[in-house]
Amino acid sequence: MSDSRSTEQTNENKRLTFLKKYIGANTTQSISPVGRWLNGKLLEISEGYMKAEFVVREDMTNPMGVLHGGIASTILDDVVGTMVYALGRDFAYTSVNLNCDFLHAARLNDVIVASANVIRAGKNIIHVEGLITNAEGKIIAKCTSNLIQTSLKIPS
């Protein structure tokens, strides 16, 4: 069978298999330069879901010693993007928007967990949600985002 769904299924399995090998490992080998800088630890990944852990470093904080909102947004965007990549679509997706709410502070050396899940995966637009929580389960930041299919074909 040579329809596009069978192609997407094959790519999906390869990407998920590839990423699942890194569960429990730091992202210093990520294909994303930003992902390498963030240096999180992949905790879980499945079709339409991802969870990673990060430690708030000094270079991630604002002058008040709190996780910078731009870095929280970067964490969410990177986790969301990796999760969408793992869907196995033939073409790359890019963010159309990233709407973030910052609800609690994360401080230097705090361990935070970022998760992302697909709410709706259409043919051209994928709508997702992301969440950052601390060890006590408080929501540090949350986001919604829409990603749109580009004309950039992802190599096999």
pTM: 0.90
All structural domains of the chain with their residue ranges: 4-153
- Cα 51 to Cα 43: distance, rounded to the nearest angstrom: 5
Identify the segments of the chain with pLDDT beneath 50.
Answer: 1-12
Give the chain's radius of gyration (CA, Å): 16
Residue 68 has a pLDDT of: 98
Instruction: Tell me which residue has tokens 């930003």.
Output: 34
For residue 109 the two structure tokens come to 């050396």
User: Each residue of 83-122: pLDDT tens digit?
Assistant: 999 999 999 999 999 999 999 999 999 999 999 999 999 9
Residue 29 has a pLDDT of: 83
Q: Is the dihedral of CA 24, 26, 29, 35 positive or negative?
A: positive
**Which CATH architecture describes the domain 4-153?**
Roll (3.10)
Residue 156 has a pLDDT of: 76
Name 144's bridge partners: 99, 129
Q: Which amino acid is at 108?
A: L
Residue 30 has a pLDDT of: 85
Residue 28 has a pLDDT of: 87
- Dihedral angle computed from the Cα positions of residues 111, 75, 103 and 137, in that order, rounded to the nearest 10 degrees: -40
- Cα 81 to Cα 73: distance, rounded to the nearest angstrom: 12
Q: Which amino acid is at 48?
A: G
Residue 61 has a pLDDT of: 98
